[in-house]
């Protein structure tokens, strides 16, 4: 299918062939009919992409601080690589979609196949959208009008926050799409409206909708207009700012034109150098509107489908969608006059040239071919061939959006012994894992990602032969003999078990699983394979034991008899409580999700099993600030201080080993120093090396050699069990 992608590094916009998404639980799959380009938001993304690195930095000072902190801890080169990788990832554009439901995911009610719906779906022929971000389109509203649902809901949310009453006078600063819809909704609410802008044509439209206007291009004074006859000399009751500008003038002027105890709501983007005198003397209220209403950026609402009770939250995102659609159906909101251009999706690059240019435009619609005009494989294909290696005819497992699958073509002779399929293509996968496996010399056959965009990007960047949204197709591909799993933690066990059932080697980015029940199932499945004489390798991405300095530590410690003391300090930093890694059901929490690395590292260096473990943690408010104690069979002891309450300027990881009157100290995988160690002083690296490349290479080499797993399976089970018990 076709989808619009934006490159943040160059600002280039393209219409790409992307695998068709699939409807996950809580989602509906929609075939797009029309989408609306949001001139304000999407222009900002285009302009940001075209800006140089210095300009990008100036626009995001908070990100600059994060980069500087990373340089202090990880070094310059890894930081540059991380920034480049982030900027290199394409962004799927758009959030104003109308189409027809193709499929309803598990747990969804209120929608059926064939329903016409408006949603915040992307500019793509097929989109998968949370059910709470969709609304049925009434029969009296055509597709083009329905495409304005989301921007209209943004306008409506700003109005709800300003709480206008019948007869109040309200100034609207900025007569773009949202400003013009805001004007109509305010008029429908019985308010008098003053529209303010530099664009004479847009102000003319505002007057058609019943507003009075102040034309800044003609030197008209917005403050005088607001304080004059429009408000009968009292000052406006409220100001809604829908403009997009870096200037502080809109905020200053809004405060000046308000009456005492007036209200100001910011819907757009503007400078926020506020004058205390402006607000103090009049006791003005100021609030920033968050997109289309309650539920925005709440994962429980948007991703998990938990609606807010209507008795307590009357107007959610979805209910705002429904409200503006009802207004359109009643003829109270006219969006046809806001349409300035129409382009078929194949010509979307011309639309974005218009968005980023200086020519006049307002509502730009993208249209999509009717079903009968689209080849079946063009619209419904879930796998896209990205490249074909010389000498091979890569298997193409084609999966339709409804789940049916075509037969794979035969495997040619002379294939490499290690052919990889990747499940998941997030930031860590594209920044670290996939390039590490590419460097190992393995054949990169396929990559599957939930929405398709990140998978396509990974395939293009690293030469993976095809990109898909169907993980099952990767699992059943006869050519793929090893699967690399880099998805969210709650899916790891399921994919590991699926790979084992298919007899494939499996590399899973930590953790192996989230629960003891899942761990027992994996253990049982592996042992059944071993008893049957078919022993695929199972590997967890515990890369730190493969780091060059850790290998040196292992060598040095191997010559020292007796127990050892390990002190691992992890300056993990705080992560918001609503981040997916903090969700016990999805990420498993930070102990299972990340501290497993350090339990494995100490287990590796001790060289013997963990006999007991315990945990001491801070209060519930700092639940991810803990100390973990480990005891080993040879009498060694280990402590992992996993701390979320430190400074980012301090190194993230430090390991100290005390034994036989000697000390080894490893600082952030860059500096290893020995104290009292005969024949050893230090090893310093130019750049941090946590062993990711060596870890991937060890997995590939073990498959090629037919030898034992780089990490014994029993150790993986042991470390996973201890970690889950400590969580």
- 497-514 pLDDT tens trace: 999 999 999 999 999 999
In a domain, 678, yes or no: yes
Residues 144 and 214 in one domain: no
Select from 489, 523, 541 the last residue of a domain: 541
Mean pLDDT, all residues of the chain: 89
The pLDDT tens digits of the residues spanning 596-623 come to 999 999 999 999 999 999 999 887 666 6
Residues 137 and 168 in one domain: no
Residues 581 and 684 in one domain: yes
Which region among 32-46, 313-327, 444-458 has the lowest average model confidence (pLDDT)?
Answer: 32-46
- Round to whole Å and give the CA distance between 333 and 159: 14
pLDDT of residue 576: 87
Residue range(s) defining the domain that contains residue 589? 544-726
The total domain count for the chain is 4
Q: At a CB cut-off of 8 Å and minimum separation 6, what does 487 contact?
A: 423, 424, 426, 495
What share of the chain in percent tops pLDDT 70? Answer: 87
| The two three-digit tokens of residue 93, written as one number | 């554009």
pTM greater than the 0.85 cutoff: no
Residues 438 and 578 in one domain: no
In a domain, 321, yes or no: no
pLDDT for 727 beyond 50: yes
Select from 541, 570, 590 the last residue of a domain: 541
Residues 577 and 694 in one domain: yes
| The two three-digit tokens of residue 427, written as one number | 């930031």
Confidence of residue 372 (pLDDT cuts 50, 70, 90): low
| The two three-digit tokens of residue 279, written as one number | 């607000």
In a domain, 488, yes or no: yes
In order, the DSSP letters of 656-713 are: EEEETTEEEEEETTTEEEEES-TT--EEE-SS---SHHHHHHHHHHHHHHT---SS-H
Residues 253 and 122 in one domain: no
What share of the chain in percent tops pLDDT 90? Answer: 72
In a domain, 305, yes or no: no
> Of 564, 549, 544, 581, whose CA–CA distance to 638 is shortest?
564
pLDDT of residue 395: 34
In a domain, 326, yes or no: no
Residues 143 and 167 in one domain: no
Q: Are strands 212-215 and 192-197 parallel, antiparallel or unpaired?
A: parallel
Q: Distances in Å between the alpha carbon of 714 and those of 532, 538, 704, 708?
A: 18, 10, 22, 12
363: domain CATH number? 3.90.180.10
Residues 416 and 480 in one domain: yes
- Round to whole Å and give the CA distance between 304 and 290: 20
The pLDDT tens digits of the residues spanning 516-569 come to 999 999 999 999 998 888 889 999 999 999 999 999 999 999 989 899 999 999
In a domain, 293, yes or no: no
575: domain CATH number? 3.30.360.10
> Of 442, 585, 600, 565, whose CA–CA distance to 514 is shortest?
585
Residues 717 and 588 in one domain: yes
pLDDT of residue 371: 61
Output phi, psi for 722, to 5 deg. -60, -40
Residues 421 and 505 in one domain: yes
In a domain, 50, yes or no: yes
160: domain CATH number? 3.40.50.720
In a domain, 303, yes or no: no
pLDDT of residue 650: 86
Confidence of residue 62 (pLDDT cuts 50, 70, 90): low
Residues 387 and 525 in one domain: yes
The pLDDT tens digits of the residues spanning 99-149 come to 999 999 999 999 999 999 999 999 999 999 999 999 999 999 999 999 999
Q: Which H or E run contains 241? A: strand 236-241
The residue ranking higher by pLDDT, 338 or 621, is 338
Which region among 168-172, 337-341, 648-652 has the lowest average model confidence (pLDDT)?
Answer: 648-652
The pLDDT tens digits of the residues spanning 575-602 come to 888 888 988 999 999 999 999 999 999 9
Select from 541, 556, 576 the last residue of a domain: 541
pLDDT for 81 beyond 80: no
pLDDT for 460 beyond 80: yes
Residues 410 and 449 in one domain: yes
The pLDDT tens digits of the residues spanning 374-414 come to 544 445 556 777 765 544 333 333 334 433 333 333 334 44
pLDDT of residue 533: 81
Confidence of residue 38 (pLDDT cuts 50, 70, 90): confident
CA angle centred on 527, ends 521 and 528, rounded to 5°: 90
């Amino acid at each position: 299918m076709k989808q619009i992608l934006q490159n943040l590094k160059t600002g280039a916009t393209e219409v790409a062939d992307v695998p068709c998404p699939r409807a996950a639980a809580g989602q509906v799959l929609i075939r797009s009919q029309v989408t609306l380009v949001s001139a304000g938001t999407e222009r900002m993304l285009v302009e940001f992409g075209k800006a140089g690195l210095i300009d990008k930095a100036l626009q995001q000072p908070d990100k600059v601080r994060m980069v500087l902190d990373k340089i202090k801890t990880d070094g310059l080169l890894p930081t540059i690589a991380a920034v480049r990788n982030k900027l290199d990832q394409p962004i799927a554009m758009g959030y104003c979609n109308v189409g027809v439901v193709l499929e309803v995911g598990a747990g969804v009610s209120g929608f059926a196949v064939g329903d016409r719906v408006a949603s915040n779906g992307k500019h793509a022929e097929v989109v998968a959208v949370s059910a709470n971000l969709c609304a049925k389109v009434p029969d009296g509203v055509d597709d083009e009008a329905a495409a304005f649902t989301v921007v209209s809901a943004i306008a409506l949310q700003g109005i709800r926050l300003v709480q206008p009453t019948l007869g109040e006078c309200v100034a609207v600063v900025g007569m773009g799409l949202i400003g013009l819809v805001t004007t109509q909704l305010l008029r429908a609410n019985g308010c008098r409206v003053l529209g303010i802008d530099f664009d004479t044509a847009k102000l003319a439209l505002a007057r058609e909708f019943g507003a009075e206007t102040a034309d800044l291009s003609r030197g008209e004074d917005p403050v005088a207009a607001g304080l004059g006859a429009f408000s009968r000399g009292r000052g406006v009751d409220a100001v809604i700012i829908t403009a997009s500008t870096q200037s502080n003038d809109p905020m200053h002027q809004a405060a000046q034109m308000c009456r005492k105890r007036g209200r100001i709501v910011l819907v757009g983007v503007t400078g926020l150098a506020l004058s205390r005198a402006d607000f103090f003397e009049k006791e003005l209220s100021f609030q920033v509107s968050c997109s289309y209403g309650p539920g925005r950026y709440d994962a429980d609402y948007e991703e998990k489908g938990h609606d807010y009770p209507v008795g307590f939250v009357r107007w959610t995102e979805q209910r705002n969608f429904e409200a503006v659609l009802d207004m359109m159906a009643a003829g109270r909101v006219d969006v046809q006059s806001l349409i300035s251009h129409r382009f078929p999706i194949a010509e979307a690059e011309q639309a974005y040239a218009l968005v980023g240019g200086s020519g006049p435009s307002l509502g730009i619609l993208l249209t999509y071919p009717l079903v009968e005009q689209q080849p079946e494989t063009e619209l419904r294909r879930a796998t896209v061939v990205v490249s074909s290696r010389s000498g091979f005819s890569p298997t193409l497992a084609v999966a339709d959006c409804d789940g049916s699958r075509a037969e794979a073509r035969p495997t040619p002779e002379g294939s490499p012994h290690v052919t990889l399929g990747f499940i998941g293509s997030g930031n860590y996968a594209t920044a670290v894992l996939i390039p590490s496996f590419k460097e190992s010399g393995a054949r990169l056959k396929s990559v599957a990602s939930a929405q398709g965009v990140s998978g396509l990007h990974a395939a293009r960047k690293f030469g993976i032969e095809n990109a898909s949204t169907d993980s099952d197709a990767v699992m059943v591909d006869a050519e793929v003999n090893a699967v690399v799993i880099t998805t969210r933690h709650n899916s790891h066990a399921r994919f590991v078990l699926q790979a084992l059932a298919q007899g494939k080697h499996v590399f899973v980015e930590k953790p192996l699983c989230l629960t003891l029940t899942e761990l027992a199932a994996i253990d049982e499945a592996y042992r059944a394979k071993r008893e049957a004489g078919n022993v695929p390798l199972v590997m967890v991405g515990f890369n730190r034991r493969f780091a060059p300095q850790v290998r040196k530590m292992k060598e040095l410690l191997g010559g020292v008899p007796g127990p050892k003391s390990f002190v691992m300090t992890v300056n993990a930093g705080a992560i918001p409580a609503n981040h997916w890694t903090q969700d016990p059901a999805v990420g498993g929490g930070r102990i299972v999700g990340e501290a497993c690395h350090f339990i494995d590292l100490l287990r590796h260096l001790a060289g013997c099993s963990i006999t007991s473990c315990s945990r001491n943690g801070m209060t519930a408010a700092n639940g991810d600030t803990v100390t973990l104690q480990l005891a080993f069979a040879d009498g060694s002891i280990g402590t992992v201080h996993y701390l979320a309450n430190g400074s980012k300027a301090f190194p993230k990881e430090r390991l100290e080993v005390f034994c036989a009157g000697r000390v080894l100290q490893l600082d952030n995988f860059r500096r290893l120093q020995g104290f009292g160690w005969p024949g050893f002083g230090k090893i310093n690296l130019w750049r941090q090396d946590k062993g990711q490349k060596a870890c991937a290479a060890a997995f590939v080499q073990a498959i090629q050699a037919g030898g034992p797993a780089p990490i014994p399976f029993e150790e993986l089970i042991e470390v996973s069990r201890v970690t889950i018990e400590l969580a």
